[in-house]
Amino acid sequence: MMTLLAAAASGDGILGPFGFSWPLFFAQVINFILVILVLKKFAFGPIQQMLEQRRARIVEGEEKLKRIEQQLADSEEQTAAAIAKANDEAKRLIEEARESAASLSEAKAQEAIDQAQQILTKAEAAARAERQQIAAELKKEFGHLVAATTAQVTGKVLNDEDKARINQEALAKVES
Amino acid sequence: MFSRRLTLSVLLAWLSSLAPALAAGGHALPLDAPRLSDYLPINNSMIAVWIGVGVIVLFCRAATKQMKLIPSGLQNVAEWLFESLYGFLEGLLGAHLTKRTFWFLGSTFFFIITVNYLALIPGVGTAGWEMLDKETGEVIGFTPLLRGGNADLNMTAAMALTFALLWFYWAISENGFKGFMAHIFAPKGDFGGIMLVLMVPVFLFVGVLEVISILIRPVALSFRLFGNIYGGEQTLEKLMLLMPNKYLHFLPALPFYFVELLVGFVQALVFTLLCAIFLKLICDHGDEEHH
């Protein structure tokens, strides 16, 4: 290049026949630089800007997509964890309820047994009292009958003392 | 069967018309683009260049007039073109270097392809005036009104030089000056001891070759593009003159128009691709560090 340029500089030299000329060459260099600048500014600048803008949007969109996917995965993971936790909680609650129901049922049964026992005791007491009352009434009636029978058999009029004595003797014999 | 015969006949007729006509004369596109002013360094290829820039700017302005986030119509086309090239270069250079250099590489590609295709518009390079010798009145040359931008060595050399300067800037800013020099001259590989001592002069020599290669690159870039585009225009023009009947001038050149459409694209791609590869070669280590 330098040789050729030197040859050209020294006159038309090697390049002269091809139409090379220094003033035109420098003019074309300036011309070409202007061409490139004009094309950059007015032709390709806006297109490149739009493409870079679109590329940036695509990159941004992809990043957003990745973020959304990550969030979705996290969310699914969290949901699964929450569901698992809820399942565990529900199982625990059911177990507790079951245990609680069992213990309640036992307590209720015990209570029922106690109540039944009390009723039974009361019934027994009532029966015993009633029997004692009937026995007392029977004794009283029996005393009257024995006193009346004794009075009729002996023909004697019995006073209260005799009646009490005859009653006690008759009852002592019946009870023995 | 009939259509195949017809095609063959047309092809043969076309080829047979070339032989006598190849010897014919006629004006040709001059190697140097004529200056339009005695005071200012302006030539007709510069006018074509700015027409090309105007076309690109108008297209991009129309495409970006009502920019939408979801593109449609012309915006879609512009973005597709832009993104395709960006993706292609990104695959080659990596994300960091592409982002840093696309303003130049992308602009260069679209500029070259547009200017190349504009040069194929009928009239560009062919419509002009003949220069006559003032004394004899004979035709001594031809000046086209417009000339393909890349059919001017000054333009392609200017592009190559601009890239070379930017290449140094990017290479040094990516590697640091020490890293840049080490990249060229330092031994590559894991040498140690006596091997390192032996390898130093070898790699110094390789470095000198690398420097020569670096200096040759802009020349190769500029001459490759200029040669292909100028050669293509010259071919089309010469082929058009093959037909004696001026109304049929277009006929011999017609198939080559399709070739030139391909050449216009390929040369734009080759220039951009080579710039990207030269950049990748020097910034390779720097780019890996960035990753």
Q: Do B153 and A18 touch (CB under 8 A)?
A: yes
Q: Do B41 and A47 touch (CB under 8 A)?
A: no
- In sign, the C-alpha dihedral spanning B281, B283, B289, B291 is negative
CB nearest B158 (choices: A17, A29, A53): A29
Q: Is residue A161 part of a domain?
A: yes
Q: Which two tokens stand for residue B168?
A: 């140094």
Q: How far apart are CA A39 and CA B54, in angstroms?
A: 9
pLDDT at B24 over 60: no
Identify the contact set of chain A against chain B, taking CB-CB distances under 8 A: 1-2, 4, 15, 17-21, 23-29, 31-33, 35-36, 38-40, 42-44, 46-48, 50-51, 53-54, 57
**In the structure, what pLDDT confidence band is assigned to residue A123 with cuts at 50, 70 and 90?**
very high
pLDDT at B54: 92
Quote the domain boundaries for residue A106.
22-175
Q: Is residue B281 part of a domain?
A: yes
pLDDT at B14 over 60: no
Q: Which two tokens stand for residue B65?
A: 């007039």
Q: Is residue A5 part of a domain?
A: no
Mean pLDDT of B45-74: 86
Q: Do A29 and B110 touch (CB under 8 A)?
A: no
Q: Which residues on B lie below 8 Å from A26 (Cβ)?
A: 41
Which residue on chain B is closest to A5 by alpha carbon?
B219
pLDDT at B22: 42
Q: Which residues on B lie below 8 Å from A21 (Cβ)?
A: 32, 41, 154
Helix (H) or strand (E) holding B139: strand B139-144
Q: Which residues on B lie below 8 Å from A20 (Cβ)?
A: 32, 153-154, 157
Q: Which residues on A lie below 8 Å from B107 (Cβ)?
A: 35-36, 39-40, 43-44
The larger pLDDT score, comparing residue A5 to residue A163, is at: A163
Least confident of A63-72, A78-87, B117-126: B117-126
The larger pLDDT score, comparing residue B45 to residue B19, is at: B45
Side-chain half-sphere exposure of B291, counting CA atoms within 13 A: 11
Least confident of B4-18, B48-62, B214-228, B272-286: B4-18
Q: Is residue A16 part of a domain?
A: no
Q: Do A27 and B82 touch (CB under 8 A)?
A: no
Q: Is B216 exposed, middle or buried (0-12, 13-18, 19+ CB in 10 A)?
A: middle
pLDDT, tens only, B65-87: 887 777 788 888 988 999 999 99
Q: Is residue B138 part of a domain?
A: yes
Q: Are A11 and A21 in contact (CB under 8 A)?
A: no
pLDDT at A117: 93
Q: Which residues on A lie below 8 Å from B37 (Cβ)?
A: none
Nearest to B243 by CA among B2, B8, B14, B12: B14
Mean pLDDT of B109-115: 94
Nearest to B249 by CA among B237, B241, B259: B241
Nearest to B152 by CA among A92, A21, A156: A21
Q: Is B280 exposed, middle or buried (0-12, 13-18, 19+ CB in 10 A)?
A: middle
Q: Is residue A6 part of a domain?
A: no
pLDDT at B123: 79
Q: What is the DSSP letter of B245?
A: S
Q: Which two tokens stand for residue B118?
A: 């504009």
Q: How far apart are CA A150 and CA A157, in angstroms?
A: 9
Least confident of A6-15, A97-106, B43-52, B226-235: A6-15
Q: How far apart are CA A151 and CA B180, in angstroms?
A: 160
**In the structure, what pLDDT confidence band is assigned to residue B116 with cuts at 50, 70 and 90?**
very high
Helix (H) or strand (E) holding A54: helix A45-154
Q: Which residue has 């695959």 as its token pair?
A: B91
Task: State the pairing for strand pair B139-144/B128-132.
Answer: antiparallel
Q: Do A31 and B155 touch (CB under 8 A)?
A: yes
Amino acid at A92: R
Q: C-alpha dihedral over B26, B32, B36, B40, to 10 degrees? A: -170
**In the structure, what pLDDT confidence band is assigned to residue B251 with cuts at 50, 70 and 90?**
confident
Nearest to A141 by CA among A170, A176, A162: A170
Q: Which two tokens stand for residue B248?
A: 């049929």
Q: Which residues on A lie below 8 Å from B158 (Cβ)?
A: 25, 28-29, 31-32
Q: Is residue A167 part of a domain?
A: yes
Quote the domain boundaries for residue B37.
25-290
Minimal CA separation from A9 to chain B, in Å: 14
For an interface test with B, the pick among A1, A5, A20 (most B C-beta atoms closer than 10 Å) comes out as A1
Q: Is residue B75 part of a domain?
A: yes
Rounded to two decimals, the pTM is 0.68
For an interface test with A, the pick among B107, B109, B165, B225 (most A C-beta atoms closer than 10 Å) comes out as B107
Q: Which two tokens stand for residue B234?
A: 């010259």
Q: Which residues on A lie below 8 Å from B56 (Cβ)?
A: 39, 43
Helix (H) or strand (E) holding B131: strand B128-132
Q: Are B153 and A19 in contact (CB under 8 A)?
A: yes
Which residue on chain B is closest to A4 by alpha carbon?
B219
Q: Which residue has 């590697």 as its token pair?
A: B175
Q: How far apart are CA A168 and CA A165, in angstroms?
A: 5
Q: How far apart are CA A140 and CA B152, in angstroms?
A: 161
Q: Is residue B9 part of a domain?
A: no
Amino acid at A33: I
The larger pLDDT score, comparing residue A122 to residue B26, is at: A122
Into how many domains does chain B fold?
1
Contacts of B106 (CB under 8 A, 6+ apart): A44, B82, B85, B86, B89
Q: How far apart are CA B126 and CA B121, in angstroms?
A: 10
Q: Do A24 and B83 touch (CB under 8 A)?
A: no
pLDDT at B97 over 80: yes
- Name the average pLDDT for chain B: 82
Q: For chain A, state the CA radius of gyration.
A: 65
Q: How far apart are CA B279 and CA B89, in angstroms?
A: 11
Into how many domains does chain A fold?
1
Q: Which two tokens stand for residue B76?
A: 């879609």
Q: Is residue B5 part of a domain?
A: no
Q: Is residue A12 part of a domain?
A: no
Q: Is residue B7 part of a domain?
A: no
pLDDT at B125: 74
